[in-house]
Structure 1
Amino acid sequence: MLTRRSTLLGAAGLALASMIAGGSADAAEKDVTIAYVEWSDAVVATNVIKTVLEDAGYNVKIVPLSGAAMWQAVATGEADAMVAAWLPATHQAYYEKLKDQVEDLGPNVSGAKIGWAVPTYVADVNSMEDLKDKASEFKGQVIGIDPGAGLMKASENAIKEYDLPLKLIEGSDATMVAALKDAYGKKEPIIVTTWTPHWMHSSFELKYLKDPKGVFGGEETVNTVVRKGLKEDDPKLYAILDNFALSLDQEQAVMLENEQPGANPAETAKKWVEANKATVDQWLK
């Protein structure tokens, strides 16, 4: 397995050391490094658990990485944990390659899903199969997120499986939402790659396209994954991470707050933790 790391990451692995320099899990007993991808749901979960751990006496560093580099960071011990592992489908390739080097603590959010969506005002498109004859209505494009993301790989497969004359446009969570906002304001047709939990489902009237071939898989969970040996090194930290869980509604509400002008994800996380003491106390048991 160790000999395949360079194949897994390529250039991303070279950037990893400099991004996490000084934040190694080996730095000190109370130091914690959490890796995450800059998706709106992962930003919420990561900042919430950061706040909780800091209140418990830890010095927490959060490091934004690509999906592949996030898994690699935990597998090598350069990060202690992530709370943004989408399983069983979206991050399946990463998990299969690194499962012997990490420990999966199970879901911190249930009821997640991925797929493509269109605004509800696009009345004549309800299924992936409808797109074959209507690609021109969407300028032949699907607006995607960061290249290499599990959702993007699934989207590439969807284009092949349904034989769609569409081009997948790479970008980011932010650029995808910006394109959606622009099209939505003009009532223009648009296809976006999307997932739940995401705040845009609370701000726009969207519908997932039916996926009769099951390319995007079924319901998923967002899991907490930690480095090997964490339980022995710090049972208290391990227990808090193991207990950490949010509902879809809780996470999407904080995501929506983060979209308000001037919002700071660290501050909205602190606000949520202060307002949900009973929930947080369950994680600290």
Structure 2
Amino acid sequence: MKSLGFGLVLSALAGPMTAAELGAVDEPIKLAINEWTGQHVTTHIAGEMLKAAGYQVEYVTAGMMNQFQAIGDGDVHATLEIWSSNVSDEYAKQVEAGGVVEIGDLGLDAKEGIAYPAHVAEICPGLPAWEALMDCAPQFATADTIPLGRLVDYPADWGTPGADRMIGLALPFKAVPAGSEGALITELRAATEKKSPLLITFWQPHWAMSAYDVKFVDLPVGNEDCFTDPAWGPNPDAVNDCDFAPSRIFKAAWSGTEEKWPAAFEILSNYQLSVEDQQPMMGAIDVDGGSVETVVAEWMAANQDSWRPVVDAALN
């Protein structure tokens, strides 16, 4: 891909800004980089918007589950793609302590669940109904899980939502955490190429949903009682015997961000990104081999109507 610079973006800003409106432009705003490609895209777009406004930006590698202490301490200043279904207890603690503040929804229409490549329905007749997995579990067994089937769950530091469903629904599967998002993709690619059985915890938006024709298992539709009351749902002895709660994707910042960088706080609070924009960029990186920086630069150059009004509104 051809790399596009941002000189014209910076020169196109409307009107001079004072240091008071921008805040501490001599100090970098540090944005958290978590473990998945979509989050990298989300964060780099936000970072380039801040740069276009005149700020310095640093990207700081931070685990999704353990980033909130650093944000609460002011060592990292914002994180831009928090999934409500996968957020750590530390987040609530830091919000309660006053070091972290929520800054609005990102705008992605998301779904998480137990999934499989479409060809697996031939191996396990009855899918997508979850009950089919009761009888088909041996088809998914490996040397490490026999006699149980194998579920490839999220990386360990993303939580254990897949394992929770196997226990909640009393399905005869052992959840094995993937090492990374890349490892999940490797599993999908290998299963698709070999037409082998695979059950996996996965999510959308993600380019792999279409690339590998990924389908979600139909789990029982739940409500809050599913996660707190064992008597609710098909398994009277366990919680989590239902589908994933609808995922809300939102943003958070260090509580001192608004005072230190007022315009930046407004930009990050109003920043939105759609599935239609994010998902192709993920494919351009993970499938086509483009760098995050190049792919984001090309998108921003081609889509100024999508992001520039947010920057301009904060500076005027």
The two structures have a TM-score, normalised by structure 1, of: 0.84
Residue identity in the other structure for 1:210: D
Q: Classify 1:168/1:104 alpha carbon distance in 2 versus 1 (closer, same or farther; 3 Å).
A: same
**3-state SS, counterpart of residue 169 of structure 1:** strand
Cα separation, 1, equivalents of 2:259 and 2:162: 40
In 1, the alpha carbon distance for the partners of 2:134 and 2:104 equals 38
Two-structure CA RMSD over aligned residues (Å): 1.8
Q: Which amino acid aligns with 1:81?
A: A
Question: Where do 1:204-243 residues align within 5 Å?
Answer: 204-212=212-220, 214=222, 215=240, 216-243=243-270
SS in 1 for 2:110: strand
Query: What's 1:135 paired with?
Result: 137
Supply the distance in 2 between the matched residues of 1:32 and 1:117 (Cα, whole angstroms).
Answer: 37
CA-CA distance at 1:145 after TM superposition: 3.0
Pick closer, same or farther for the CA change 1:267–1:91 going to 2, 3 Å.
Answer: same
Q: What are the residue-to-residue correspondences of 1:67-86 with 2, within 5 Å?
A: 67-86=64-83
TM-score, normalised by the number of residues in structure 2: 0.76
2:276 and 2:262 map into 1 onto residues whose CA distance is 30
Residue type of the partner of 1:61? E
SS for the counterpart of 1:143 is strand
> Post-superposition shift, 1:29?
4.3
Instruction: Please state how far the C-alpha of 1:209 moved relative to its aligned partner.
Output: 0.8
What aligned pairs does 1:1-285 form with structure 2 within 5 A after superposition?
A: 29-87=26-84, 89-91=85-87, 93-100=89-96, 101-123=99-121, 124=125, 125-139=127-141, 140-150=149-159, 153-170=160-177, 171-212=179-220, 214=222, 215=240, 216-284=243-311, 285=313
Secondary structure at the residue paired with 1:94? helix
Contact 2:65 2:88 in 1 (8 A): no
Tell me which residue corresponds to 1:14: none
Cα contact 1:104–1:226 (8 A) shared by 2: yes
Count of residue correspondences: 256
Shift of 1:64: 2.1
Q: CA deviation at 1:211?
A: 1.7
Shift of 1:28: 6.8
What's the CA shift string for 1:181-225, capped at 9, x where partnerless? 011011112111111111111212111111206445332222110
Q: Counterpart of 1:188 in 2: which secondary structure? A: coil
SS where residue 154 of structure 2 aligns? coil
* Structure-2 change in CA distance of 1:262 and 1:90 (3 Å): closer
Which residue in 2 is equivalent to 1:11? Answer: none
Shift of the 280–213 alpha-carbon distance from structure 1 to 2, 3 Å rule, reads closer
Shift of 1:77: 1.1
> Gaps (5+ residues) in structure 1?
1-26
Distance 1:76 1:33 in 2: 12
Name structure 2 gaps, 5 residues minimum.
Answer: 1-23, 142-148, 223-239
| Percentage of pairs with the same residue | 27
Give the match's secondary structure for 2:120: coil
**How many angstroms apart in 1 are the aligned matches of 2:285 and 2:271?**
21
Question: Given that residues 25 and 55 in structure 2 are in contact (C-alpha distance below 8 angstroms), is that contact kept between their aligned partners in structure 1?
Answer: no
Tell me which structure has the larger Cα radius of gyration.
2
Q: Which amino acid aligns with 2:305?
A: A
- What SS is found at the alignment partner of 2:196? coil
TM-superposition CA deviations, 1:57-109 (whole Å, max 9, x none) = 2221112222222222212211000002112x321633322222311112113
Counterpart secondary structure, 2:252: strand
Q: Quote the Cα distance in structure 1 between the aligned partners of 2:189 and 2:211.
A: 10
